[in-house]
């Protein structure tokens, strides 16, 4: 059984996929790029600014599922320039406390809409 996660406070999907899906005790969010939730336009800010926008959008999607950033158990970060790792890390660290999720970070050749960063997450669904 799966439940589709949707929030109008986060960007709409730009393809044939859901913003997120809850399946049993997990929430799987689709990869997020730095889209403005109202206009659908990509931020042309640097990787740090894009990371901030993405994590705020992820926060909104998790809220729609009754969860928060603290419920993320795994994150995958995709960068078009691994040289931005430090800048992305500084912003990323500000969103998580002392117990951040497991994570991988890889450089890719390109991302949709020429984004510099894409982040996808898996969160534990709250059962209370």
| Contact status, residue 80 vs residue 90, Cβ threshold 8 Å | no
pTM above 0.85, yes or no: yes
pLDDT tens across 37-90, in order? 888 899 989 999 999 999 999 999 999 999 999 999 999 999 999 999 999 999
CA atoms within 13 Å, Cβ hemisphere of 46: 10
**pLDDT score of 128:** 65
User: Is the CA virtual torsion 3, 26, 100, 51 positive or negative?
Assistant: negative
- Per-domain residue ranges for the chain? 2-124
Phi, psi of 64 (to 5 degrees): -65, -25
CA distance 113 to 89: 22
Q: Which of 117, 114, 125, 127 is nearest to 57 (CA)?
A: 117
- CA 66-9-116 angle, to 5 degrees, is 105
**pLDDT score of 1:** 84
User: Dihedral (C-alpha) 108, 21, 28, 66: value to the nearest 10 degrees?
Assistant: 130
Question: Please, which pLDDT band fits residue 126 given cuts at 50, 70 and 90?
Answer: confident
Q: Which of 99, 77, 90, 10 is nearest to 48 (CA)?
A: 90
The topology under which CATH files domain 2-124 is: 60s Ribosomal Protein L30; Chain: A; (3.30.1330)
């Amino acid at each position: 059984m799966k439940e589709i996660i949707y929030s109008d406070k986060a960007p709409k999907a730009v393809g044939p996929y859901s913003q997120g899906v809850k399946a049993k005790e997990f929430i799987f969010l689709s990869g997020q790029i730095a889209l403005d939730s109202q206009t659908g336009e990509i931020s042309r800010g640097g990787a740090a600014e894009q990371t901030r926008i993405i994590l705020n959008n992820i926060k909104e999607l998790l809220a729609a599922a009754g969860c928060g950033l603290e419920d993320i158990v795994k994150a995958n970060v995709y960068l078009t320039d691994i040289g931005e790792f430090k800048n992305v890390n500084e912003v990323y660290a500000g969103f998580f406390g002392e117990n951040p999720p497991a994570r991988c970070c890889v450089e890719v050749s390109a991302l949709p809409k020429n984004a510099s960063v894409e982040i996808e997450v898996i969160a534990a669904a709250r059962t209370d």
